[in-house]
Structure 1
Amino acid sequence: MKLKKDKKRIFDPPASSRSAKLQYDPLSYSQNFDQGCSWDQPDEDDLCSRSFSMRFAVPSNNF
């Protein structure tokens, strides 16, 4: 019986978190997603080279 009680205590969330509803603003949520790098626009090559991986990569003469 004690094991069953402990299991319920560990795996069941508290009543306060079960009834909580999370609200978000759809506009601010949509701003979390950008269009990424514009590969189809050749004049914006500089924008593509500043991607996350390029900023932290070891500089190379290959690019």
Structure 2
Amino acid sequence: MFVPSDGGSSSGMGGRRTGSNRSSSKWDYVKTFYSDQAKWDVIKSIGFFAVAIYMIRDLASNDLLPME
């Protein structure tokens, strides 16, 4: 993104907000999940639990012993 060097005036920028004038968006909130240790631990736990449930269901549907 181009940032003008004339002190941040928005002439010619079409009214775009730049730098610290931006309001926080949903994506900025999602990024906090990685930077906050407690949130990241919860996300990892939920993710690993979901993967484990998927694997258990997938393995349980397979017959491991051949039928005779």
Q: Normalising to structure 2: TM-score of the pair?
A: 0.28
Greater relative CO (CA pairs within 8 A, separation 6+): 1
Q: Normalising to structure 1: TM-score of the pair?
A: 0.29
Higher helix share: 2
